[in-house]
Amino acid sequence: MRQRKKLESILKRFPRVRLLVVGDIMMDRSIFGKVSRISPEAPVPVIIAEAEDFNLGGAANVAHNIRSLGGTVSLCGILGNDENGGKIRGRIVEKGIQTDGIFFEQGRQTTVKTRIIAHHPHYQQLVRVDRETTDHPKASTFRNLSKFLMEKMEDFDGVVFSDYGKGLLTRRLIQTIINRAKQSKKLIMVDPKVKNFFFFRGATVITPNTNEASEASRIPVTDQVSVEKIGRSLLKRLRCNALVITQGEKGMTIFERDQRPYRVPTVAKEVYDVTGAGDTVIGTMALALGTGPHVSIKDAASLANYAAGIVVGKVGTAIVSSQELLKVIREKS
């Protein structure tokens, strides 16, 4: 009962939190259909398309989760000066996310992930087609991004890095942002990719998944003991306040300085689709920690775990509302 009241109290303060999300903005496009037969041209299924939609992906999905949970959020990143870039920006505005930090770059292809999902007999992703440009930003774009970040950092309670390895987050940009955020004593949350892993040294909380943590530490994952060895090694090397390794259906493990690893078991009833679950985790944790220093990493992770348990029960890139999260807290705590 006490834990439930504590988590409810944190959730109710989410609307006071202002966050800046910096990272790779993407479109998650889904085509749904039924398998009608095997193609005579190749041993592949023929899908009769029945519906198509697109959702905000990558850093935009992190921002969407934060907004859906009641927080105020601004998104900073780049889009291609193409039709898909315009569609994504329109959807971002529609969701109530601030767009002052989004810049269009001529000649860049907006990242689009297209998933073909068939009902046979249950929804199952059959293939994914990606369109993307992974080059670093042009010098003029980098100047615009840096100017925005330097001028606006004071307006937020914290910054969230959403790294999908699509070229935006260079070593120079990451370190510029971290130094600026530290000067202003802001919360720094990171969902990293292995390529940039150790550029995020000194962040507040870093949330890799098991595979990313294993690759970065060069320690293979065999069991929970190996996960704890990885966590302790990375926590020391990254010099962050906390490291949270997300482990899918096994929940997550929290590592903090001078404390024993802490397991947070999953609360998901059924796992249909893990797409975007990491975005939900970091968005929820950032909101929880953004409410003030009285909130522990463990409480923030517990809330994030409940939120992730909701999205993995949905098909496609999904978000969580504050009402959904409140309902699960009351059922499970």
Average pLDDT over residues 129-157: 93
Compute the distance between CA of residue 59 and CA of residue 7 in angstroms, rounded to an integer: 25
Confidence of residue 274 (pLDDT cuts 50, 70, 90): low
Model pLDDT, residue 18: 98
* CA gap 200, 170 in Å, rounded: 11
CB within 8 Å of 275: residues ≥ 6 apart: 28, 115, 316, 317, 318
Look at residue 249 in the predicted model and tell me its pLDDT: 76
Omega within 30 of 0 (cis) for the link into 40: no
- Given this model, what pLDDT does residue 316 score? 57
> Domain 2-27+56-112+132-332 belongs to what topology?
UDP-N-acetylmuramoyl-L-alanine:D-glutamate ligase (3.40.1190)
Residue 104 binned pLDDT confidence (cut-offs 50, 70, 90): very high
Average pLDDT of the chain to the nearest whole number: 91
Residue 265 pLDDT: 83
Nearest to 260 by CA among 231, 285, 303: 231
Mean of pLDDT values over 71-85: 96
pLDDT at 299: 93
Mean pLDDT (whole number) for 35-60: 91
pLDDT of residue 273: 47
Q: Which residue has the tokens 């085509």?
A: 31
* Each residue's pLDDT tens digit, 298-308: 999 999 988 98
DSSP letters, 13-79, are TGGG-EEEEEE-EEEEEEEEEEEEEE-SSSSSEEEEEEEEEEEEEEHHHHHHHHHHTT-EEEEEEEE
pLDDT in tens, 142-154: 999 999 999 999 9
Q: What is the pLDDT of residue 122?
A: 73
What are the sequence ranges of the domains in the chain? 2-27+56-112+132-332
Residues with catalytic roles: 279
Q: Is residue 271 over pLDDT 60?
A: no
Q: Quick one: what percent of the chain has pLDDT higher than 70? A: 95
Is the confidence at residue 197, as pLDDT, over 90? yes
